Amino acid sequence: MGRLSWQLGEVVTTRAETARTKSITLAVPTWMGHQAGQHVDVRLTAEDGYQAERSYSIASPPEEAPHVTLTVERLDDGEVSPYLVDELHVGDKLELRGPIGGYFVWEARLGGPLLLVAGGSGIVPLMAMLRHRAATSSTVATRLLYSSRSFEDVIYRDELDHLKSSSTMLEVVHTLTRVQPPGWTGYHRRVDSEMLKEVAWPVDQHALAYVCGPTPFVETVAASLVSLGYDPGRIKTERFGPTGEV
């Protein structure tokens, strides 16, 4: 381990996931590996020396190292995200340090069953976990509850469909809170206790729960899981801050 040091990655691919979200894959020659759920700090330096730093969850599984993928949502009043989403292109270099955070991680050997609850861009670290699960051919029973504003806002939509149909023991449940496509038969409201009661693993399964998204979302979900009887020690949360509603 040791002191975190700044590493330089080169953008090898970029991919628009939704209108506001982009995945950026970096080749990082000095990368020491990571666990699903960890994040990196990204640092931008302007010519006049001005610097801005932000944290982003790693979207790629450890199996893809030394490639590291970040999925960034463009915040309108952001300073770093507009640069990453609009400006950065293949061939550019980006400074990052990490991986950071040993608490909000999942490895296949931790088992399950697994309950993943994502609000908006909170899906990113949970996607790293799902990709790691797939890469290790793990059969850990997993349920993902993913809240998005609309069908068009669902990040990794096609890949989640593919994982669901090609993997045993994986269920993906979407809820679209603002707008639903014609014929939508799924949930169409914000995640609440009732929904969790229907989707979450029964308490006697002693599932491991990972909840990620905007702070109010995480607090509602974590509190609901606790009141359903989940052991708080088996609920791990990663709040992204107050931005946005999902």
Partner 1 sequence: MSEGFISRGFRRRHQQGDESGRIPPGQYLERGFPVLSAGPTPHTPLASWDFSLLGKVDQPKRWSWDEFRALPREKVTKDIHCVTKWSKLDTHWEGVSLDTLLAQVTYNASYVVAFSDGGYTTNLPLDEVMEGQAWVVDTYEEKPLEPQHGGPARLLVPHLYFWKSAKWVRGLRLVEKDEPGFWESLGYHNHGDPWKEERYWGD
Partner 2 sequence: MENKLDGNAAAGTLQEIFAFEMTLAQVTCVGCGDTSVIGATAVYIHGMGTVVRCPFCDTVLIRVARTKGRNFLDMRGVRVLQISAEA
Stretch 92-111: interaction string toward partner 1, x if CB under 8 A: xxxx----------------
Residue among 29, 48, 168, 183 that touches partner 1 (CB under 8 A): 48
243 contributes a contact to partner 1 by CB under 8 A: no
47 contributes a contact to partner 1 by CB under 8 A: yes
Name beta bridge partners: 7. Answer: 96
Q: Residue 41 binds which one of partner 2, partner 1, none, with CB within 5 to 8 A depending on kind?
A: partner 2
Indicate the residue among 45 and 205 with the shorter CB distance to partner 1: 45
Structure tokens at 155: 């990040």
CB atoms closer than 10 angstroms to residue 149? 16
Residue among 61, 62, 101, 119 that touches partner 2 (CB under 8 A): 101
Least distance between partner 1 and beta carbon 68 (Å): 16
239 contributes a contact to partner 2 by CB under 8 A: yes
Q: Residue 92 binds which one of partner 1, partner 2, none, with CB within 5 to 8 A depending on kind?
A: partner 1
| Count of residues near partner 2 by CB under 8 A | 22
Handedness of CA 200, 204, 205, 208 (dihedral sign): positive
133 contributes a contact to partner 2 by CB under 8 A: no
Buried-exposed string 187-212: b where 16+ CB fall within 10 A, e elsewhere: beebbeeebbeebbbeeeeebbbbbb
Indicate the residue among 59 and 94 with the shorter CB distance to partner 1: 94
Q: Residue 204 binds which one of partner 1, partner 2, none, with CB within 5 to 8 A depending on kind?
A: none
51 contributes a contact to partner 1 by CB under 8 A: yes
Helices marked H in the chain — which ranges? 81-82, 123-135, 157-166, 193-199, 215-228
Least distance between partner 1 and beta carbon 87 (Å): 5
Place of tokens 């797939």: 134
Handedness of CA 6, 212, 108, 24 (dihedral sign): negative
Residues in 180-209 that interact with partner 1 by CB under 8 A: none
**Residues in contact with 134: Cβ distance below 8 Å, sequence separation at least 6, in sequence order:** 61, 163, 167
Structure tokens at 75: 């915040």
Half-sphere exposure (Cβ direction) of 14: Cα atoms closer than 13 Å: 17
User: Which residues here bind partner 1, judged by CB under 8 A?
Assistant: 6, 8, 43-52, 79, 83, 87, 92-95
